[in-house]
Amino acid sequence: MITVNTKPCEGQKPGTSGLRKKVKVFQQTPYLENFVQSVFDSIGDFQGKTLVVGGDGRFFNDQAIQIILNMASANGFARVLVGKDGILSTPAASCIIRKYKAFGGLILSASHNPAGPDEDFGIKYNIGNGGPAPEKITDAIYECTQTIQSYKTMTSSHNVDLTDIGTSSIGDMRIEVIDSVADYADLMESLFDFDAIRQLLASDFRMCFDAMHAVTGPYAKVILQDMLGASGDSVMNATPLSDFGGGHPDPNLTYAKDLVAIMYGDDAPDFGAASDGDGDRNMILGKHFFVTPSDSLALLAANAHCIPAYQSGISGIARSMPTSGAADRVAQSLGLDCYETPTGWKFFGNLMDADKVTLCGEESFGTGSNHVREKDGLWAVLFWLNILAVRKQSVESIVTEHWQKFGRNYYSRHDYEGVATDAAEQVLQNVRDQFETLTASTLANRQVQSCDDFSYTDPIDQSVSQNQGVRVLFEDGSRIIFRLSGTGTQGATIRLYLESFEGDVEKQGMDAQDALADLIAAAHDISKLGDLTDMDKPTVIT
Ligand code: G1P
Ligand code: ZN
């Protein structure tokens, strides 16, 4: 073991989900080393314990893992579990941390951000419950990166073969290369009615899953095809590539265009789904029909009784603040609590650990449950397939029936990417400056009830998170929300979230952009977003 002198690197503050930077930045020694040592210095006593390591297979995944393995040994871990070829989807990593009672895990991913030598890389630390480290720990990691003076690694650097399942060692530390899929697949089989899904897939029902050349390919092939009998052409773009095929593996209507073309085409299958770079996001489509992630969460909750694992009831629901209130209405009808948390999966961890909630979701194509402590793309796909197998209706009829019963929350998110940071801050400040005048005024033909900067006190550990989004809340339940992204690697991204509620069945068939047009106009008016960004339309609309 050697101690290498170092000095702090710029820009090591973890964002919404870990540290994300250009590959070129991570490649500059000691950028990664400093961050990994700062993690090890912030997480408590792990001597003799197990660490889980894996990533989404993007460019630099392999090299990063070798650096981490050498440092983990030098720092005193007794054992590391690594996915074969360095591959672990984010939910699979969470599953493995929990199943093998590891001390924690390092997950290498920049989620849906593009990959390749000139694109993005990322790393985050997950704690022993399998979930992203809470702010207390990420803040401590950041503090360490600011003062770090040395890191520990092995005297001569070892290169571990990750291509075969098996055991090896570096110094006193044992390395177990494990099957990336098996433990996760077992967990899925324990939650869902695989027989019912198998029958559905053996009928004339057709599905298409798009792995977007990212990590879910091998998982989808084993679970959907080998275990559940889906046809050979049911999984597309199934081979993970280190540059994700040059694409942007974000499962939304803009970036998953191949799948969208199929699902809106003449011979569309009954069900379509996609997942992102690291496998934690999901998009759900029916024939010529898109299910918003907010509606999807509400629907999963309303239909949880169809699923073996949730048959006896769920304990509660949590959604991120910008996610629509559709799930709240289901929670209310089931007599359950619904929690509203800041953006980012880490805020759900405490609620799940305390069994206050079973299902969680975010408008950003994230849904999951207490089976792991990450959102889970394939889990959501299997949940939907299980519902479809039980209800024997189309996706569209299940969703429209849901709206008839609970009302429809029209919802959209407009992203303005690559904005100058000053301009982005000013957009939010413009709205903040009008909090007083807006309150109780009329805007978009509605009465404004209140305006605030969303802040959250964790009900379990009482930690407070401030400035989590600028909100204009209306008396009729409509909302306009502005937030700055915490996951981008270049410039700032403004997210504008819009929501209105429609209880009248006759008016539930509108296009969401039309239904929200007056709120969109009002949002531009109060923020001066167009002038400040010089953009006349959003980069992405979902
Ligand atoms: C985005 C999403 C957020 C999600 C995160 C990680 O963060 O909005 O819901 O948890 O990615 O997948 P943002 O860029 O908005 O900070
Ligand atoms: Zn992701």
Summarize pLDDT for 218-264 with one digit per residue, the tens. 999 999 999 999 999 999 999 999 999 999 999 999 899 999 999 99
Q: Is the CB of 180 under 6 A from ligand 1?
A: no
Per-residue confidence (pLDDT) for residue 17, from 0 to 100? 81
User: pLDDT at residue 165 above 80?
Assistant: yes
CATH architecture of 184-406: 3-Layer(aba) Sandwich (3.40)
Q: Separation of 160 CA from ligand 2 center, angstroms? A: 27
CB 392 within 8 A of CB 297: no
How do beta strands 207-210 and 50-55 pair?
A: unpaired
Q: Is the CB of 485 under 6 A from ligand 1?
A: yes
Given pLDDT bands bounded at 50, 70 and 90, which one contains residue 487? confident
**500 in catalytic set:** no
Q: Is the CB of 495 under 6 A from ligand 1?
A: yes
Q: How many percent of the chain have pLDDT more than 70?
A: 100
User: pLDDT at residue 490 above 80?
Assistant: no
Q: Is the CB of 542 under 6 A from ligand 1?
A: no
Give me the CATH topology for the region 409-541.
TATA-Binding Protein (3.30.310)
Residues 264-321: pLDDT tens digits? 999 999 999 999 999 999 999 999 999 999 999 999 999 999 999 999 999 999 999 9
Q: Distance between CA 56 and CA 64 in Å, rounded?
A: 12
Tokens of 287: 């024939």
CB 370 within 8 A of CB 131: no
Residues 399-453: pLDDT tens digits? 999 999 999 999 999 999 999 999 999 999 999 999 999 999 999 999 999 999 9
Q: Separation of 283 CA from ligand 2 center, angstroms? A: 12
Residues 72-101: pLDDT tens digits? 999 999 999 999 999 999 999 999 999 999
Q: Distance between CA 134 and CA 100 in Å, rounded?
A: 21
Q: Separation of 10 CA from ligand 1 center, angstroms? A: 23
For residue 486, the ligand 1 atom closest to its alpha carbon is 16
Residues 5-25: pLDDT tens digits? 999 999 999 887 899 999 999
- Please tell me the total number of residues recorded for the chain in this structure: 542
Rg (CA), the chain: 23
Per-residue confidence (pLDDT) for residue 16, from 0 to 100? 78
User: pLDDT at residue 175 above 80?
Assistant: yes
For residue 488, the ligand 1 atom closest to its alpha carbon is 14
User: pLDDT at residue 489 above 80?
Assistant: no
CB 469 within 8 A of CB 321: yes
Could you please report the per-residue DSSP string of 480-519? Answer: EEEEE-SS-SSSEEEEEEEEEEE--GGGTTS-HHHHTHHH
Question: Which residues, other chains included, contact 420 with Cβ-Cβ below 8 Å and sequence gap of 6+?
Answer: 491, 492, 533
Q: Is the CB of 320 under 6 A from ligand 1?
A: yes
Per-residue confidence (pLDDT) for residue 529, from 0 to 100? 96
What is the pLDDT averaged over residues 512-529? 97
Q: Is the CB of 249 under 6 A from ligand 1?
A: no
Sign of CA dihedral 363, 365, 370, 372: negative
Could you please report the per-residue DSSP string of 96-154? Answer: HHHHTT-SEEEEE--TTS--STTSEEEEEEE-TTSSBPPHHHHHHHHHHHHH--EEEE-
What is the pLDDT averaged over residues 30-54? 97
Residues 342-367: pLDDT tens digits? 999 989 999 999 999 999 999 999 99
Domain edges within the chain: 2-180, 184-406, 409-541
> Average pLDDT over the chain, rounded to whole?
96
pTM recorded for the entire structure? 0.95
Give me the CATH topology for the region 2-180.
Alpha-D-Glucose-1,6-Bisphosphate; Chain A, domain 3 (3.40.120)
Q: Please give the C-alpha separations between residue 245 and each of 58, 110, 214, in angstroms, as whole numbers.
A: 10, 15, 9
For residue 362, the ligand 1 atom closest to its alpha carbon is 9
Catalytic residue chosen out of the listed positions 111, 364, 478, 527: 111
Per-residue confidence (pLDDT) for residue 488, from 0 to 100? 74
Query: 377-391 and 90-99 helices cross at what angle (nearest 10)?
Result: 90
User: pLDDT at residue 135 above 90?
Assistant: no
Tokens 């964002």 belong to residue: 15
Q: Distance between CA 535 and CA 529 in Å, rounded?
A: 8
Domains 184-406 and 409-541 share a fold: no
Q: Please give the C-alpha separations between residue 331 and each of 155, 298, 328, 394, 530, in angstroms, as whole numbers.
A: 56, 8, 5, 24, 37
The SS3 of residue 440 is coil
Q: Separation of 147 CA from ligand 2 center, angstroms? A: 30
Residues 93-113: pLDDT tens digits? 999 999 999 999 999 999 999
What is the pLDDT averaged over residues 129-146? 95
Q: Give the neighbor-by-neighbor strand order of the sheet with 442-443.
A: 442-443, 446-453, 470-474, 479-484, 492-502, 408-419, 540-541
